[in-house]
Structure 1
């Protein structure tokens, strides 16, 4: 949206429902949006006044991603003037600290680093910095991070419409039900806030309502009944109503704290009017969520802490009633199957292996790696060889790593792409790019999803290396059976088109020959890789992942990439038994 419009010699700000008409160099009621001549500039863009990681329950939101973390931020300034404001140090401040700048990407990176599932725009009124919040929200959506507004509800209708698809939830302060008090003591007007609440609902944004009970100001029985009636009749009976306790602050230092009797009165009024979710906040009172159908406690809370959460995929565990709100879906995990056998169970022990592999390690020259060929036996046998390739590529920052390996246990005439949410490793789970994986399956006939194939060591042994060397990357797991290497190469060609992809081809070489024979057979494979000779692969190469290796070399020929063999060894190096060995190699494909 355009945040302003021209009207005669003025620019009209369209962020909130004041629609301030500003002359050049004039600032709006909020104190932070200024007519700079040809536009209205949001002066606080990038200049954060406070940023913290909070439980989402602190917003308060009780029916939106419960028991998750939200990165909360605000600037200075506000379009209201509440005398009891409990964040007045920010909201009523006009001086902007511009010593630090946080780009939208910076904010999202912080949220990702600390695994926040949402970003909350809060502390002061976020509508006044909507241009900044919107740009953050757009960036956040790229990573599946949701966005929350904690607001006084005085947005312009244009902004509320612009929020569709960007802002996922709002908590609106319905401060009273007295229009005169709104206009004289707070700001804005009651009718506009009520209309905006309905507007948020119509736009499919999850809504929760908060009322701070201020003694003698908004705590009469009649006013509380009006609020409860409005929520029930104009929003719906499932809209959560949070009733918060006031403490003396800002200009209302002479008022007493809200009594428990007053809070309980409001709670009971809400319940009597048929509201299903009414909560007394910030005093340690019963904040549990009950299933509206069977009355089972589905979320047990103490203030902002969730003590028990039995909601499963948004449903009551007892009667399966679908609870109102936005709930995290249970993540499907590609579980480990070879942890403790092919590689250690503990992160510390794996790191010990890697540290040992990297002793006296030197990299000569540069190579723009597009793909790696790595072995997949137990780390004691092939870990050193695999680690050479990973170490050389450690400075790459791929968005996703595609690991392709052969099935050893299940017959399959396609390649199976994992459609789980996350991939388990001793270093922590890796996010699977599920959308990308699904799109691949829909596009290529050679691809499918067969869950049985994804208990496979050829790919799993790579996961700890991936998490260690590329901690921010997503993963794609592809396990192939009896497929044509040219068909697989077509999929690889698409992977190679994206500079943010890194491909891993997992294979061991010959199995269970004498050391002498293994060296001869493996040499055929190594020469085929180094020389990019497709015919040579069929002259004695016995790699278990030969289809994958042939596919990447075929793609390398088409793309005119180079190949470079890094290391070769056999299990003899560890066992000292030359009668029955397995061969291992690592190589790079690129320029």
Structure 2
């Protein structure tokens, strides 16, 4: 039997029941603004429980609807929360499972990044990690059939992440997704100021984010560096926090959705 990475946070971060999950993701996407302008080459989206950040994630996932049938590979990078990772970790599995079905791992892309000295194979790093898992149902709903390159990012430098992304950047068949929340547990008004500054830094393509303001700082910084080299345009799609969605306002978590566009691509 092929080895599969099973869901770890189904039933807590998002519904376990396939019908309920499909309906919830569809509702988030239906509430998002319709896709317009060029389709993204890369996106940044949050990874909290759907009640908190699902609407923000959906705002940028809705932009991907024109790419259904065109995207054949998704490079999905998110921060390590559970296990220390020196650089970047891939799971030693053949598929990522979700309540909506299994997504095959892109074995050719996996082999290409495993050749890099800072990339390791670690099923343990992926076993309980939520930062990638919560994106898979959105990707399945929006894109349909695709293969996945799931990357848990730990203590990776800007140059290392940029090098990795360049290896798997590909063409119009490849989408890059970076998973990150923003500031954690500040009062609502303070968080808004911090998160706006973080977003402005991303919009300036300044690859110097720190984990205190974006837990996915390492993969974001790598994406920003590639965006600078390739002259990508970046657009803020949504910026809110848990005080705007489903939580109190005394200690909030920030969420942003951003889209990166290649110039001259529809």
Question: TM class by shorter-chain length?
Answer: over 0.9
The DSSP-based 3-state class of the residue aligned with 1:369 is coil
- State which of 81, 104, 122 in structure 2 corresponds to 1:431: 104
Equivalent residue for 1:380?
51
- Do structure 1's residue 410 and structure 2's residue 83 form an aligned pair? yes
- Do structure 1's residue 473 and structure 2's residue 146 form an aligned pair? yes
Equivalent residue for 1:420?
93
Does the 8 A contact of 2:52 with 2:247 survive in 1?
no
Q: More deviation in 351-360 or 494-503?
A: 351-360
Q: How many residues align?
A: 259
Residues 572/336 of structure 1: CA separation in 2 closer, same or farther (3 Å cut):
same
Normalised TM-score (structure 2): 0.92
Residues 527/344 of structure 1: CA separation in 2 closer, same or farther (3 Å cut):
same
Residues 363/466 of structure 1: CA separation in 2 closer, same or farther (3 Å cut):
same
Equivalent residue for 1:558?
229
Equivalent residue for 1:451?
123
Greater length-normalized contact order (CA 8 Å, ≥ 6 residues apart): 2
Shift of 1:364: 6.0
CA distance in 1, matches of 2:35, 2:138: 21
Residues 393/412 of structure 1: CA separation in 2 closer, same or farther (3 Å cut):
same
Shift of 1:541: 6.1
Per-residue deviation, residues 80-109 of structure 1 (Å, max 9, x unmatched): xxxxxxxxxxxxxxxxxxxxxxxxxxxxxx
* Structure with a larger share of its residues in helix: 2
- State which of 164, 169, 172 in structure 2 corresponds to 1:491: 164
Does the 8 A contact of 1:518 with 1:581 survive in 2?
yes
- The alignment's C-alpha RMSD in Å is 1.7
The DSSP-based 3-state class of the residue aligned with 1:504 is strand
Shift of 1:354: 2.3
Residues 364/459 of structure 1: CA separation in 2 closer, same or farther (3 Å cut):
closer
Per-residue deviation, residues 228-255 of structure 1 (Å, max 9, x unmatched): xxxxxxxxxxxxxxxxxxxxxxxxxxxx
Does the 8 A contact of 2:76 with 2:148 survive in 1?
yes
Does the 8 A contact of 1:334 with 1:423 survive in 2?
yes
Shift of 1:418: 2.2
CA distance in 2, matches of 1:360, 1:584: 17
- State which of 180, 198, 205 in structure 2 corresponds to 1:507: 180
Normalised TM-score (structure 1): 0.42
The answer for unaligned runs of 5 or more in structure 1 is 1-329
The DSSP-based 3-state class of the residue aligned with 2:27 is helix
The answer for unaligned runs of 5 or more in structure 2 is none
Equivalent residue for 2:38?
367
